Structure 1
Amino acid sequence: MPRFFFDTYDGDKLIPDDVGLELESLEVAKAEAQKCLPEMAKDALPDDNHRTFVVNVRDEAGKVILRMALSLVIEEGAVDDQPVE
């Protein structure tokens, strides 16, 4: 089985994954990356009004093969009904 490495960045600190996980496929690795993003956002609430959490998935050769990000935007005061783009 291939090994995938999940490097995380919470807007302040990059945490490289030196161990990785043996997973069946890139699709399974994608699902793992997607699961960790909400946890990162929950554990590292931003000090400002915007933060982007990132997971880079690397293959065994060290090449980034997938990047997934989640942005947290906080709006205060008079907020209109328009979605954030």
Structure 2
Amino acid sequence: MAIFADKHNGLVYHDDQGTHCSAFDQVKEEAVRTLVEMIKESLPDGDHHRLTIKVRDDGGGVVLQVSLNFEVEAERRYGGGSSPDSHV
């Protein structure tokens, strides 16, 4: 079972079906892949997100946690609201 949480807005999603994995490397790969999918769905909705996946075994114990902190911060303003880098 996996628990998906967006700490910024307090939403928690439970995956009650889960995914069977035969090796820890497979568990890690699946968790990272799922986090990337969550990022695609969550961003760019806001400037601050903490996304976390907790992977649990059949007994409910946490075997892996994968997290990502996402923040957008303006360092300073430039005249006219444009960036000094034309490609940004």
TM-score band w.r.t. shorter chain: 0.7 to 0.9
Residues 1:7 and 2:3 aligned together = yes
Moved more, 38-47 or 16-25: 38-47
Name the larger-Rg structure: 2
Q: What letter corresponds to residue 56 of structure 2 in structure 1? A: R
CA distance in 1, matches of 2:2, 2:25: 14
Pick from 72, 75, 84 the counterpart of residue 74 of structure 1.
Answer: 72
* Normalised TM-score (structure 1): 0.76
Q: Map Cα deviations across residues 47-81 of structure 1 (whole Å, 9 max, x no partner).
A: 2x3211000000000111111101111112428xx
Equivalenced residues, count? 74
CA distance in 1, matches of 2:59, 2:6: 24
- What is the SS of the residue equivalent to 1:21? coil
| Structure 2: runs of 5 or more not aligned | 78-88
Which aligned segments of 4 or more residues in structure 1 are displaced greater than 3 angstroms? none
CA distance in 2, matches of 1:21, 1:36: 11
Shift of 1:41: 1.5
CA distance in 2, matches of 1:20, 1:37: 14
